[in-house]
Amino acid sequence: MYPHVDDYSNPVWPATKGVTAHHLGSKSVREDYSVQFPFESEDFIDGEYDLNEDNCNAMQINKPPEVNLKNVLGGLVAILTGRSKGPSVPMNQQLPSSNVSFLGSEKNGDTYLHSSVYIPSAPPLLEPSGINYIAYKEVLEAEPPEWLPDSSTTVCMQCTAPFTALTRGRHHCRLCGGVFCRACTKGRCLLPVKFRERNPQRVCDACYDRLDPLQGILINTISNAVQVAKHDVMDWTCSRGWLNLPVGLSMEHEIYKASNTLKSYGQVARMNPDRSIPLAVLKGAKGLAILTVAKAGALVAYKIGTGLVVARRSNGSWSAPSAICSVGLGWGAQIGGELMDYIIVLHDMKAVKTFCSRMHFSLGAGCSAAAGPVGRVLEADLRAGDRGSGMCYTYSCSKGAFVGVSLEGNIVATRMDANLKFYGDPYLTTNDILLGTADRPKAAQPLYAALEDLYSSLGC
């Protein structure tokens, strides 16, 4: 056997078992690189493989048995005697299988579903088996702290930044009572029951992390939305029943104003159907926006007001309300001042999506005539926002002394602060309220009752 010469003039000898010549530079280094064969050299004798019994058994485990007279007779005997001649596996040598088992066996031989399949891996929040149950319980049962005096520290208790008169003022965390800067108290959370606060309060970052997992529980128990409506009297014995104010400071006030407006329209529909909203328009409405707006001026009129919007779901029920505000200008042959209760009919889903925008614009033309306690305003306008655009029809009753024809322009914005104080959920969007699955709040029950009365009075 002659060596083969490669391109580098280094002899490369055929590899023998266990040894290979390898050159590094000019110095030969012998290393032990074993060449693996299917069987060891002891099993290879005289050019044939000497397969012992273990190797044969290993190879035949996954190989079907040979069909011959001996195996057929053996199989019949095994069937008659009830014995199996399958390959036996030692106890310490299990066949490869999955390490996941969903079934267990009882002593009597019956099988049952393992408990790990149907028991949830994470226990519910308030069950005693929860990991953080004790910590959550301490937070839910916490009592109002005694606030630290402003003079107790000159720096923020979290970021240690010094307080200044203009750029960095002092703020107290409502849960722990510590003094922090504005940057370290950005969070707003509902507080436990003993604090007697239904609006989200300012808390520090550390307390926000403690309260955030419990917000779902607090929203469903102490928020303003789940309380019974306090203002539900709308007759002459209640001062609010006489006149709707143009600006409502809370969602509860907006619900009362909207209910009073719908009740007034219901009375008009019963006494004089010709002056009410047409039945066909009201039947096809996909939503209603109800506002009270004050308007005054000569040639140029200024408008401001607040209200709410509700959408009609596919099953015929009404969604939760979302608070809105409106400011605008009117230009034309007009003079005087009036207080108007608007009902804006959203006749398609495009118009509803327009009110889901954080802010949208409206442009339209209308005529107003008010003299004394009752007047009428009819308008048709086009509204456009970042969620779409749509046509709306506006019907209103007005009080005051005003006459004119004008071109109207308005900016309507969603009152995110009012929604947050009412629902208590900072992650709830207008789209979730009007088009989502947000539950109808208990505090809005007078509004839903007024809607049912209005539709029943028109025979819808």
* pLDDT above 80 for 255: yes
Specify the 3-state DSSP secondary structure of 133.
helix
Is the pLDDT reported for residue 415 higher than 90?
yes
Instruction: Using the predicted structure, report yes or no on whether residue 13 has a pLDDT greater than 60.
Output: no
The helix (H) or strand (E) run that includes residue 251 is helix 251-271
**Whether pLDDT at 305 is above 90:** yes
Q: What is the CATH number of domain 141-222?
A: 3.30.40.10
Q: Pick the range with the lowest mean pLDDT from 120-124, 243-247, 443-447.
A: 120-124
Lookup result for tokens 């490869």: 96
For residue 288, give the amino acid letter. L
**Alpha-carbon span 86 to 103, nearest angstrom:** 24
Instruction: Of 330, 449, 347, 454, give the one whose Cα is nearest residue 391.
Output: 347
Q: Are 179 and 129 in contact (CB under 8 A)?
A: no
200-209 confidence digits (pLDDT tens): 999 999 999 9
On the question of pLDDT at 121 being above 80, the answer is: no
Q: Which residue has the higher pLDDT, 160 or 113?
A: 160
Q: What's the distance, CA 423 to chain centroid?
A: 14
Whether the pLDDT of residue 3 is over 80: the answer is: no
- Tell me: the pLDDT tens digits for 28-54? 334 443 444 444 444 444 444 444 444
Is the CB of residue 430 less than 8 Å from the CB of residue 438? no
The answer, yes or no, to whether residue 275 has pLDDT greater than 60, is yes
- The whole-number pLDDT of residue 299 equals 81
Chain segment 377-389, per-residue pLDDT in tens: 556 566 666 666 6
Which of these ranges, 18-32, 145-159, 385-399, has the smallest mean pLDDT? Answer: 18-32
Domain positions in the chain:
141-222, 239-457
- How many beta carbons lie within 10 A of that of residue 80, not counting itself? 8
Q: How confident is residue 146, by pLDDT bands cut at 50, 70 and 90?
A: very high
Average pLDDT of the residues of the chain: 75
In the predicted structure, residue 332 carries a pLDDT above the cut 60:
yes
180 band by pLDDT with thresholds 50, 70 and 90? very high
Residues 189-195 have a mean pLDDT of 95
Question: What pLDDT score was predicted for residue 231?
Answer: 84
Q: What is the mean pLDDT of residues 54-70?
A: 56
Indicate left, alpha or beta for 281 from its phi (over 0: left) and psi (-120 to 50: alpha).
alpha
